[in-house]
Every structure is written in structure tokens, then in C-alpha cells.
Structure 1
């Protein structure tokens, strides 16, 4: 007898833009049932994301710490950083399908979420422009579930493109991971676009490994 396969699919109402269907699977598998459902609804492939994980802490002698750029991080400040962060974020994600269109309103909605801890929202000021944020690493802690341990997420990591290729991205991710470790979190995770080779290379060099693939149809 064949064992039934159960696949959890998430349907999101996009209002006048229709619906979105997403599901997770192992990277090496390609379940056909969700695709049949998507096609029956007239939906088409939109995005593919990898979830990557690594254990914490990151050892002090890990190769990723060699030659690491020194940065001074501080916590996000309500009432003074919102506009600066939206600018930095939207520049960093100018070609991203969703993250690059943040506004003060959408940021405010996220900041109002109960999981937000500003101590885990790390920013680096631009030394050349005091009124600007150079980069940021926003972390999030997910409570343990029946299927997963407590996870520390690199929720959003971005650097102003004017400072790309200077080591800030690596330093910010490590700052976020070290913060999560200080919070006694033993496993870190993040989501990344499956076709973002530069980000994948960075995260793999930091010890992350792909654990699942998320497909999104619209």
C-alpha cells in the first residue's frame, strides 16, 4: 500500500492582485501535487527561496572571521531611524520582488509585531553621512515547535550599495549571529532567493547549509 503524501500549502489573498500559493519541500524533491493545484488555479512560478541554517555559536577561529571588517553596531532607535532605514533598505533591495518597496507605514506595522526586539535590530551609521544608515541586520527569534528547535533568524540584512564589496555584509551577518548566540539560541536560519548567487556564496562561507526550498506561485 502506498503511503499518502501530505504537503502543506499556504494560500495568501492578494486582494485585487489575486492569490498566492506557496509550499516547502526538500531541495532534492519536486512534489507534483502543489504544481497541479497552482496550474488549476491559473497561477505561474513567481519566486523560489532557500531556507539555510547553521548551528550557533560561530567559533572564534572559524575561517569566516579571518580578515573581518570592524564595525560599530547599535540598536535601532524608534523615532529617529525609520526614514533612514527605509532609504537604506530600499536602496539595498532595489531589484527585490518584495523587500525593496518598504515605506514608513509597512515598517511601522512590522515594528508593532509582538516578536520585535530592538536589541536585535542592529544598524551601522554611515561615517561619511551622519544622517544615513550604512547597513543593518534585523534578527528575529522563533520559539521552538513540535518540528523545530528555537531558531534565530537573520530577518533582513542589507547594505547601502554605495558601500558594497567592502565587507560590511559579512560583518553585519556575523554581528547578528553573535547577538542570537548571546540570546542562547543554538540554531540560526535565513531565507534567500534561490538565484541570488552572491548571497548564497556569502552564506555558505559563513557555514550555512540549504535545508529546504520554498516555491511561490502567483
Structure 2
């Protein structure tokens, strides 16, 4: 359906859809790229960008804002967490900012979520922080992006695996179910990562960056107990500690540190001059580990929410 937003700009319309056509998805991706070039960071997360394509996703809605027929804004609302409020991301084309379009999208998100909303401000930009305040949202989560150099000499100690543990590369198709189970167990406290499904995994395996050689699985007595999935961002010349997960009953023995070192050494061997990762600011244990490995904060993503 199409919703005419009662705001200061005549000619502005917001269309709410359960799925996008291929052309609509391409138009949104093009606008996201223009915004990323202007802002230096993506306004919509990797998961959000994947959810633009491939048809309907349960719990995901898309908001297309047009002005005189031209697409100039986009928002995505994901209502899949059984406990937390729906999560949102939004973007306005850099050439059309400062005219209330972001506020119109934010108001549409508040209405669609029943004024129960969480919203990301990627990169923590001042305009995004201001919009959150205008919408009556309060800050409650800080996600840090850390970086460290991978240039020689590489000051990463030789990884030491716990007794009886071996490491091999992920085999697509063969290891999917076991990995999804360990990922869910390792991130049971983390609604975004722990809830990944086979479709989510398949989406990532279909991306150009996917390389099973950089997806390391740790096994003990034939059972998967941990992993380190790395990612190469070729255009940005960045290697990413994409996700490190350890099954709860295997935590505390140094496996996470060893897997992190294995992945960093792999990224360096692949030619990445810099490594990056994301970690919650309140995860002091993980922050300490990564800081000891030479990582420092590069930028932050902020999440705001309604107080109700």
C-alpha cells in the first residue's frame, strides 16, 4: 500500500512493502551506495542489505520514500525477535537531506511498530543521533568497530590449540547444520547472530566474498566446538574477523584466542593490510582480548530505542 505522509513536503509518499521487486532492490542498493560514498559508512547493515533481495522474509518490511516520484529514502523494519522490539535502519539520499525526509521515515517506523522500536545509527553520525532524539528514542547499545594493522612483522603469536582439538576449513553443504547448531548455542544471548537460519547462511555463501578457506572449524572427537569465519572486503582492502564462536561447554580453554590468531594469520597471508571486527562496548572480556591483540576503536554504531 502507499501512505501519504502528512508532513511539510507535498509530493512525499511512503510505500510499505513485504517484499521488493528486483528493480526496486537495485534502486535501493544504488541509493545505499551513494550514501556510503558520502558518509564513509553503510547506513544499512549487511543483514539488511541481504534482506532486500530474494523475495519475502518473515517479519521484514520495507519502506520506500519517494518525492515527486523519485526514490530518495529507504527504511527497513525487522520484527523477528520474540522478546526485543522491532529493529530498524533508514537512509535518505545525500542530495535530499535536511528537509524532514528522515523524520518522516522514522515516524512511519514508529507507527508500524506500535511505538516499540529499536533503531540503528551506523557510524554514530550527528544527524542520525539528532533524528533519534527528535523521535523520542534513547541510546542503549554501542557497537564498536575495532581495527589493527596486519603488515609485517606480524606480531601475532603462534596459535596454541587445546589438547585434542584440530582445525579444518568449512565444507559447504556438509557442515551447514552442525555450524548453525554451534552458532545458535554460542550466541544464544545475541539475538542477531544466534538466530541465523539456513537461508541466512545460504545468502552469505552466495556472496562474492565467501571463501570456505577462510572459514575455520575447530573439532574435538569429531564434534564441532568452535569456529572463526573470516571475510575479505576487497574494495576496502580490509580483512574481517567476521564471527568467532565457541560452544558453551568448550569455552574458557583458550580456543577463542587460538582461532582468532589462526584467522588473522590467514587474512594477512591473503594480503589484507588491516583487520577489523565488531564488538559490543559492554563486552569487556572480548574487548580486553582484542585490545591485547592490538585492536583499537575505529568507529561506533549506536542503537536507540523507545522507552516503553
TM class, shorter-length = 0.7 to 0.9
Relative distance call for 1:208 and 1:79 in structure 2 (3 A) is: same
Taking the aligned partners of 1:174 and 1:99, their CA distance within structure 2 comes to: 21
Flag structure 2 segments of 5+ consecutive residues without an equivalent.
1-37, 45-74, 80-85, 90-119
Counterpart position of 1:208: 295
Q: How far did 1:39 drift?
A: 2.7
Counterpart position of 2:171: 77
Counterpart position of 1:153: 240
Task: Say whether residues 1:104 and 2:104 are aligned partners.
Answer: no
State which of 77, 90, 96 in structure 2 corresponds to 1:14: 77
Relative distance call for 1:122 and 1:58 in structure 2 (3 A) is: farther
Task: Say whether residues 1:136 and 2:227 are aligned partners.
Answer: yes
Could you tell me the TM-score, scaled by structure 2's length? 0.58
The question of whether the paired residues in 2 share the 8 Å contact of 1:135 and 1:158 is answered with: yes
The question of whether the paired residues in 1 share the 8 Å contact of 2:187 and 2:193 is answered with: yes
State which of 152, 157, 180 in structure 2 corresponds to 1:65: 157
The question of whether the paired residues in 2 share the 8 Å contact of 1:135 and 1:159 is answered with: yes
Residue 19 of structure 1 aligns to a residue whose secondary structure is strand
The question of whether the paired residues in 1 share the 8 Å contact of 2:145 and 2:278 is answered with: yes
Moved more, 14-23 or 183-192: 14-23
When Rg is computed on C-alpha atoms for both structures, the one with the higher figure is: 2
Taking the aligned partners of 1:92 and 1:59, their CA distance within structure 2 comes to: 33
The count of corresponding residues between Structure 1 and Structure 2 is: 199
Taking the aligned partners of 2:192 and 2:153, their CA distance within structure 1 comes to: 33
Q: How far did 1:216 drift?
A: 2.3
Relative distance call for 1:9 and 1:106 in structure 2 (3 A) is: closer
Relative distance call for 1:18 and 1:55 in structure 2 (3 A) is: closer
Task: Say whether residues 1:193 and 2:284 are aligned partners.
Answer: no
Counterpart position of 1:23: 122
Residue 166 of structure 2 aligns to a residue whose secondary structure is coil
Q: How far did 1:183 drift?
A: 0.6
Flag structure 1 segments of 5+ consecutive residues without an equivalent.
1-5, 26-30
Q: Deviations over 1:76-115 (max 9, x none)?
A: 1112111100111111111013101112221111111121
Task: Say whether residues 1:56 and 2:134 are aligned partners.
Answer: no
| Higher relative contact order, chain-length normalized (CA < 8 Å, sep 6+) | 1
Residue 172 of structure 1 aligns to a residue whose secondary structure is helix
